[in-house]
Structure 1
Amino acid sequence: MSFSKLNLSDKLNISLKENEYITATAIQEKVIPLVFEHKDIMAKAQTGSGKTASFVLPILNLWAKEKYVGKAKIRCLVLTPTRELALQVSQAFNTFSKYLHKKPKVVSVIGGESIGEQLLDIQKGCDFVVATTGRLLDILKKKQINLSTLDFLVLDEADKMLDFGFEEELELLLESLPTKRQNLMFSATYPPKILNIASKITQNPIEISIESEQTTVETINQRVIEVNKENRSALLRTLIKDEKWEQVLVFMASKRSCDNLAFKFRKYGFEAESFHGNLIQEERNETLEDFKNKKIKVLFATDIAARGLHIDNISCVVNFDLPRAVADYIHRIGRTGRAGKNGIAVSFISHEDKEHFSLIEKRSDIKLTREQIVGFELTGEPIKKIKGQAPIKGKRKSKKDKLREQNSK
């Protein structure tokens, strides 16, 4: 369906045309009319489906029609799991509102940047706040933000927020919100914990599921290469040269691995950098900008790059380490093959990874042929697992405790 048939204002349609948005995706076609009808929404859609525009456009359209007077007050709150996604959503609000008669004041409330400056921007008056959950909850605890005038609450990538202890802090957020508001939830998956959050936030939501929204995956050539762990680095260098990959995003299991491998690749003459949560926000922004501008050829990243990283020309994604969560496989490979272009996704698996990758295939409804590259063949035998003592219930640290320990370092 053309955007021109979705009852968006002429000013928004000018911005859409300028940014080459012509045809609405399935999620946009379904969500935009429901937002206009003031319905609560629970939408299930994978990365790359166009869900950011599905809520940004109708919210801007409705906001622009209101005749607010006096100092700007917060009308919309968008919560995201990562800083990069928050900045992307803020940018979308600014981009699409370019030709509106009045432009909204948008404030990004994220970690890694001065909380004082963010609070000052809020106190001066703003219309939309786009925040990561951790930073927003810090501000709420200090009672330094007023959300009583809120019209829209949006949870973007809600399932990923569970990794940051969002469920435990939910009550604090709800106490700060007006009862009458429109709630929009977007998630790639809806496990029981997310359904619990949805029941507390939404009221009689319309459920939307874009199961067939696999256009991103269909444009990706997925490959699985069997290789011993100690040979992955050399194999990756060989593949980049032989296959002539222009820009490569490599997913790693840890921040230290990102730094170490980026350092080694620079020694071999590659323009390589690392990208992870230990970088200050300025470094993260600069690294992404350099990658977008092709100053960096190989970017080694943790899963913070799996969501909210929108770079159209990534030629290849490499799972150097497999994702622990099966759902993150689709999010990772969705960083390539964007905007209708073809992409390549390569996963390295050793003996120890075979069982886990089979689970990824089963739950992602795919079946891929295993490859071996001459000179890097998988050798040896799988290590036999020795069953240990079962974990004692209640003795493990919760995610929330682990995150608090990490943040205090």
Structure 2
Amino acid sequence: MSFKDLKIIKPLLKAIEASGYSEPTLVQQRAIPPVLEGRDVIVSAQTGTGKTAAFALPILQQLFDKQDAPKRGKKIRALVISPTRELAVQIQQNFKNYAQFSNLRSLVVFGGTSIEPQIDVLKKGVDILVATPGRLLDLHKQDYINLDHIETLVLDEADLMLAMGFIDDVKKIERLCPEEKQTLLFSATIPYKIEELAKTILKDPERIDVTPTKSVAQDVSQVLYYVPKRRKIELCLHLLRNEIKGNVLIFRRTKFGVNKLEQRLAENGYKVDSIHGDKNQSDRQTALNKFKNGYVKVLIATDVAARGIDINKLDNVFNFDMPNQAETYVHRIGRTGRAGNIGKAYSMCSADEKSYVKTIEQYINVQIPIETEHPYPLDPKAKPIVHKKKGSKYKKGRKSVASKKKKKRWY
């Protein structure tokens, strides 16, 4: 799925591309359509899943037709309430980036800093206001903020606002806005009090849940690296040197791949062994025992050979090749993070494996965090390499040039 499929307008698509994003995350795929339809939504999603864009993009799109009001004639039509300054600043930066090809203006206001510069910008007029609750109520009391024209109200990190004691302020702000408005509530968890708040301020909301399902081990932290296929071995070595602590079980799709990687790691001084279908049972058991007892730190396996393996203290699982079955991914990463231990699951994805990632994320209901800071990033526009079979240079049923030359016939 692309942002185009979500019916996002061209100026925003251009801004998304300029920001370096190519495909919507799971929370964006699910939240943008109902928000564009004008529905109230409750979204349960962890931080780092791309939820800011899930509300920023549809809000900008809804306001796009009203962007040409003269600056002083601009009225605050969208209000985002955020519990912390840092988060508020980050949200406004997102609005700024996505609105770069429009005349829509946004502002962030928060306490702990001088109020005058914020008042100056408010007087000039803005379309979107991002605010922390205390400073917003301050400015409203002093008549610098008018909330009579609010069309969309966003409550971000609602559970954090509850924990920080802002819930009464939030209710007060909601009452200052018009009754006919769209309300979007985002929260990492939905405790009872947030549920109660939602009942009082949202009308027939659509519920979107992008928190992990129980099919994924809770004590496994996942991370995804996009990398060109030919650079996978270099990235694997880089991660083994700099990131991965403790022992690691590496999964490859084929026996040939297992052997190739084992050879390269051994050449680089790693104590490594492998298990795959061509090895007899006693060799597999020996390799496994060496790994369990710490004689080798790296074990490479195919899925078939890894069935039924039980390793109590496994620190890391490494998907060198992404599995084409979502169940296989869950099965693989579930081998770490057992019995109260914390495990880590690393995955590398090349251009031709992107569709597998999408399937896995839909299945486990989680957006796998992407790590972009590494030496071999994949170009977001990279397409899978297609190997074409070379056929005959002659068209079927045609004579060759030689046979076309006039020859003397015997008849």
Three-state SS of the structure 1 residue aligned to 2:35 is helix
Deviations 1:258-310 (A, max 9, x none): xxxxxxxxxxxxxxxxxxxxxxxxxxxxxxxxxxxxxxxxxxxxxxxxxxxxx
Report what 1:131 is aligned to.
131
- Asked if 1:32 is matched to 2:37, the reply is no
Report what 1:99 is aligned to.
101
- Asked if 1:76 is matched to 2:48, the reply is no
Separation in 2, partners of 1:14, 1:367: 48
Separation in 2, partners of 1:35, 1:215: 31
Report what 1:219 is aligned to.
222
Q: Return the offset for 1:220.
A: 4.8
Are 1:74 and 1:129, in contact at CA under 8 Å, matched by a contact in 2? yes
- Give the TM-score of the pair, scaled to structure 2: 0.52
Q: Taking structure 1 as reference, are residues 151 and 366 closer, same or farther at Cα in structure 2, changes over 3 Å only?
A: farther
Separation in 2, partners of 1:153, 1:208: 17
Q: Return the offset for 1:66.
A: 3.1
Q: Return the offset for 1:74.
A: 0.1
Are 1:80 and 1:86, in contact at CA under 8 Å, matched by a contact in 2? yes
Separation in 1, partners of 2:180, 2:342: 53
Three-state SS of the structure 1 residue aligned to 2:46 is coil
Report what 2:341 is aligned to.
369
Are 2:134 and 2:169, in contact at CA under 8 Å, matched by a contact in 1? no
Q: Return the offset for 1:176.
A: 1.4
Report what 1:179 is aligned to.
179
Separation in 2, partners of 1:113, 1:30: 37
Q: Return the offset for 1:366.
A: 6.9
- Asked if 1:148 is matched to 2:148, the reply is yes
Separation in 2, partners of 1:127, 1:142: 20
- Give the TM-score of the pair, scaled to structure 1: 0.52
Report what 1:341 is aligned to.
none
Report what 2:292 is aligned to.
none
- Asked if 1:90 is matched to 2:92, the reply is yes
Separation in 1, partners of 2:242, 2:40: 47
- Asked if 1:112 is matched to 2:112, the reply is yes
Are 2:43 and 2:185, in contact at CA under 8 Å, matched by a contact in 1? yes
- Asked if 1:61 is matched to 2:33, the reply is no
Three-state SS of the structure 2 residue aligned to 1:57 is helix
Q: Return the offset for 1:153.
A: 0.3
Q: Return the offset for 1:21.
A: 1.1
Q: CA RMSD in A?
A: 2.9
Report what 1:239 is aligned to.
none
Q: Return the offset for 1:172.
A: 2.5
Q: Taking structure 1 as reference, are residues 215 and 88 closer, same or farther at Cα in structure 2, changes over 3 Å only?
A: farther
Q: Taking structure 1 as reference, are residues 244 and 151 closer, same or farther at Cα in structure 2, changes over 3 Å only?
A: same
Are 1:76 and 1:151, in contact at CA under 8 Å, matched by a contact in 2? yes
Q: Taking structure 1 as reference, are residues 370 and 48 closer, same or farther at Cα in structure 2, changes over 3 Å only?
A: closer
Q: Taking structure 1 as reference, are residues 35 and 99 closer, same or farther at Cα in structure 2, changes over 3 Å only?
A: same
Report what 1:199 is aligned to.
199
Report what 1:160 is aligned to.
160
Deviations 1:63-102 (A, max 9, x none): 11236644110010001111111111111111011123x2
Deviations 1:3-26 (A, max 9, x none): 121111111111111222111111
Q: Which amino acid aligns with 2:119?
A: L
Q: Taking structure 1 as reference, are residues 367 and 121 closer, same or farther at Cα in structure 2, changes over 3 Å only?
A: farther
Q: Taking structure 1 as reference, are residues 370 and 163 closer, same or farther at Cα in structure 2, changes over 3 Å only?
A: closer
Q: Which amino acid aligns with 2:13?
A: N
Q: Which amino acid aligns with 1:90?
A: Q
Are 2:133 and 2:170, in contact at CA under 8 Å, matched by a contact in 1? no
Deviations 1:198-257 (A, max 9, x none): 122211111111133889964359xxxxxxxxxxxxxxxxxxxxx867xxxxxxxxxxxx
Are 2:122 and 2:144, in contact at CA under 8 Å, matched by a contact in 1? no
Separation in 1, partners of 2:161, 2:341: 33
Separation in 2, partners of 1:78, 1:37: 19
Q: Taking structure 1 as reference, are residues 67 and 98 closer, same or farther at Cα in structure 2, changes over 3 Å only?
A: closer
Q: Return the offset for 1:36.
A: 1.1
Three-state SS of the structure 1 residue aligned to 2:189 is coil
Q: Return the offset for 1:163.
A: 2.7
Separation in 1, partners of 2:145, 2:27: 32
Q: Which runs of 5+ in 2 are unaligned?
A: 225-240, 244-336, 344-411
Report what 2:189 is aligned to.
189
Deviations 1:309-347 (A, max 9, x none): xxxxxxxxxxxxxxxxxxxxxxxxxxxxxxxxxxxxxxx
Separation in 2, partners of 1:156, 1:369: 32
Separation in 1, partners of 2:134, 2:338: 35
Q: Return the offset for 1:2.
A: 1.3
Report what 1:313 is aligned to.
none
Are 1:140 and 1:173, in contact at CA under 8 Å, matched by a contact in 2? no
Three-state SS of the structure 2 residue aligned to 1:65 is helix
Report what 1:2 is aligned to.
2
